[in-house]
Amino acid sequence: MKHTDWPAYYEVTAERQPWATVVRAAEAFDEAPGSPTRTAVDLGCGAGRDTRELLRRKIIKALHDNGVGLLLGADAPQVFNVPGFATIQELGAMVAAGLTPYQALEIGTKNPAIYLGKAGSFGTVEVGKRADLILLEANPLESIDNVRRRAGVMVAGRWLSKEDIDRRLDQLSLRPK
């Protein structure tokens, strides 16, 4: 598929039942209700190099605004899409799409627990829940980029300091020592 085919590829058609929610979300862009087709160009994405990313952002925002439960995902493992690091990039992408940092963090913590039916076990920091969390040196609600400023990670009740994590990453590194 050529890059110029993206708008046609991303047509949102009312007849596609699995996409009924996407159609409702597309209506948030002032589309007349019942209109059969909406394309990336119609959504104000234009054509060109950034069309795919602009469309992705608009779809994410529209889905969220219309009550669709989103889950954070980084499509790992893929080449250059390393778990953990890719998740941090995906948080930034959610904020770039128009979600608040709080909303972006929810789709990576609370929402997966709800989706899996385990909200009583994990997803939020509460007494009696699993102790899996990242302790940060700065508030991610002020800037989602602060998720990169980790002091350490609690995994299954076991503390790993930033130094422990950096040492382990260095052991895995392909860089010459």
Q: Which residues contact 155 (CB under 8 A, 6 or more apart)?
A: 132
Highest mean pLDDT pick, 45-54, 61-70, 99-108, 120-129: 99-108
What is the per-residue pLDDT across 80-139, written as a single tens digit (0 to 9) for each? Answer: 667 777 888 899 999 999 999 999 999 999 998 999 999 999 999 899 888 788 999 999
- Give the pLDDT confidence score for residue 121 in this predicted structure: 92
Residue with more model confidence, 42 or 167: 167
Distance CA 38, CA 15 (A): 12
Q: Which residues contact 61 (CB under 8 A, 6 or more apart)?
A: 97, 98, 99
Distance CA 159, CA 172 (A): 20
Asked if 121 and 135 count as a contact pair (C-beta separation under 8 A), the reply is no
